[in-house]
Structure 1
Amino acid sequence: MDWDDLRHFAGFVEAGSLAGAARVLGIEHATVARRIAALEARLRLKLVDRRGRRLVLTPDGERVADLAKGVATEMRRLERLAEGARSELAGTVTISAPSAYAGAVLAPKLARLRQRHPGLALRLLGEARTASLDRREADIGIRLSRPEAGDLTAIKLGEMAFRLYAAPAYLAAVPEADWRFIGSEGAMAGSPQQTALEGIAGDRPFGLRSDHVEIQVALAAAGGGIAILPDFMTENDPRLVPVPPDRPALRRGIWLVVHSDMRNAPAIRAVIDGLRYGAAE
């Protein structure tokens, strides 16, 4: 059996569609379909039925899918084990992080790290969603909460402080009782900082919302209202001031998360040290 065919079938099962599997695997969806057809021919079983525009698993497909998921999990574990055993300080490491933090804080550290280790190729992904370490969508994840499940190692990099910010002209023109607020939506809608902002706002309305903190900064700077923003994006921005200056900050931990199987691979270790200390020896 060609195990690669099984891997593509497992990717289809996990993603739920040919297009989703192609996105995760980084290939064309026609390749996924061809691999599934090859697996069906090898097993002499019909695994997938086309119903209209949807592909659904047959009963045989359901049984094979259960086995394929287990095999795919073990194959990824084997890949991580092999990666962790390699001695060369080279290869590609993918880091996933919140986009604003990635650009402002991580990018300079990774640029310096790449200069020190020219054999490394680094990919820094701003998260549209949380990348899966299990599926190797990323090797290292930067999170604002510590993971509670999985065979993962979490290292605290520090804390992110959030405060209320607004444009000075807005504060001068609008009394506190009439303040309008700039809120979060999408992946940030249930975040601790949004919950805190809702408590502060009370009955006062949210006039503007965005799913990107960079846009919230721009809205606040343009006089759109009061936003809760991370200090690293605002403390040197002359367009914004904290509201009020002495309000205690909301603090969230910043966690570097890596699969435990891979944490001692030289390339991974170099990136971890580079992100913790600013450079890797």
Structure 2
Amino acid sequence: MDWDKLRVFHAVAEAGSFTHAGETLNLSQSAVSRQISALEESLKLPLFHRHARGLILTEQGEVLYQTARDVFAKLATTEALLSEGKDSPKGPLRLTTTVALGSNWLAPRLAGFLELYPEIGLTVILNDSELDLSMRQADVAIRLTPPRQPDLIQRHLKTIKFHLYASPEYLTKHGLPKTPADLAAHRLVIYGETAHPPFPNVNWLLDTAVGHRGRHVNVVRLNNYFAMYRAVQTGLGIAALPDYMAREDVGLIRVIPDLEGPQVPTYFVYPEELRHSKRIMVLRDFLIQEVAKSQF
């Protein structure tokens, strides 16, 4: 297949229209359309269904797109590796992690990292869903579950501990629970229902309370730990929060201190093909040092 036509096809499949692909490629809409038509003619297969609202890949087009996406992802990886300087790490680096961990623990440490490596162009993507590293949606991730893909390298960073926290205002109004059985009489702020929770047994607090009072427990569900933290600060209820987020907040009180939730390991994860990347290695070493210095 003609490489230029394949490049145009990949851009069109990503953009969903000739116009948007042309803007990306700096080509006219008619030039993009001609390239796609020529590719379809050479393959003797339709690659797109044309509709007034845009383009939809045919079954054959989807097969070609999956292959083209893999090829371009590997090329992007190779380009990044080749562009790294011999003396100091430089170039783009995309890191993804959860909203809570990224907002509360990681973000305050980014300035220190970039002071050491100012030529690295860092992008942080906060998302409670796992991005696909093999498809280069990000270069590296900090995850709360071990990777399931065999082509990913993992390095254990630290284990997160969870305890119960509430605001003084809430406890003044509703009383201080002293035993797990007391929790059933309180409003609990728990993680919202989702097909992909950030770690197993995410709502152990609810399970604890339900065990003492059947199904009748007052709960508020939020599908983000940072939102849960903010809600607890305002007196909404009691929540199981990671210690790295709540421990140093003088406005929160640990409730039933001896009651501890599941310990959640965190992993530094990156693709096998990036194992020689200087940018990833220096970020890994920096995070390991920061974890060792902090009460995670």
User: Does the alignment reach a TM-score above 0.5?
Assistant: yes
Matches within 5 A, 1:139-158: 139-158=139-158
Q: How many positions carry a matched residue from both structures?
A: 267
Residue of structure 1 in register with 2:204 after alignment: 196
Determine the C-alpha separation between the residues in 1 that align with 2:165 and 2:14: 44
Which residue of 2 is the match for residue 244 of structure 1? 256
**TM-superposed deviation, 1:152:** 0.7
Q: Residue 65 of structure 1 corresponds to which residue in structure 2?
A: 62
Rg larger in structure: 2
Q: Higher mean Cα deviation, 262-271 or 39-48?
A: 39-48
| Counterpart in the other structure of 1:7 | 10
Equivalent position of 1:181 in the other structure: 188
Rate the CA distance shift 1:233–1:147 in 2: closer, same or farther, 3 A: same
Give the aligned residue type for 1:258: Y
Q: Which residue of 1 aligns with 2:38?
A: 42
Partners in 2 of 1:150 and 1:32 — Cα distance?
42
Q: Percent identity?
A: 24
- Separation in structure 2 between the aligned mates of residue 256 and residue 241 of structure 1, nearest angstrom: 31
Q: Which moved more, 1:33-42 or 1:174-183?
A: 33-42
Q: TM-score, normalised by structure 2?
A: 0.77
Contact 1:188 1:194 in 2 (8 A): no
* CA distance in structure 2 between the aligned counterparts of 1:128 and 1:31, rounded to whole angstroms: 37
CA distance in 2, matches of 1:29, 1:180: 54
Residue identity in the other structure for 2:107: A
Please, what is the CA RMSD of the aligned residues? 3.2
Pairs within 5 Å for 1:17-36:
none
Match of 1:79 among 67, 76, 82: 76
The alpha-carbon distance between structure 1 residues 223 and 104, as it changes in their structure 2 partners (threshold 3 A), is closer
Gaps of 5+ in 1: none
Q: 1:32/1:223 Cα in 2 relative to 1: closer, same or farther (>3 Å)?
A: farther
2:202 partner SS: helix
Query: Displacement, 1:28?
Result: 6.4
Q: Which residue of 2 aligns with 1:253?
A: 265
Unaligned runs of 5+ in 2: 176-181, 292-296
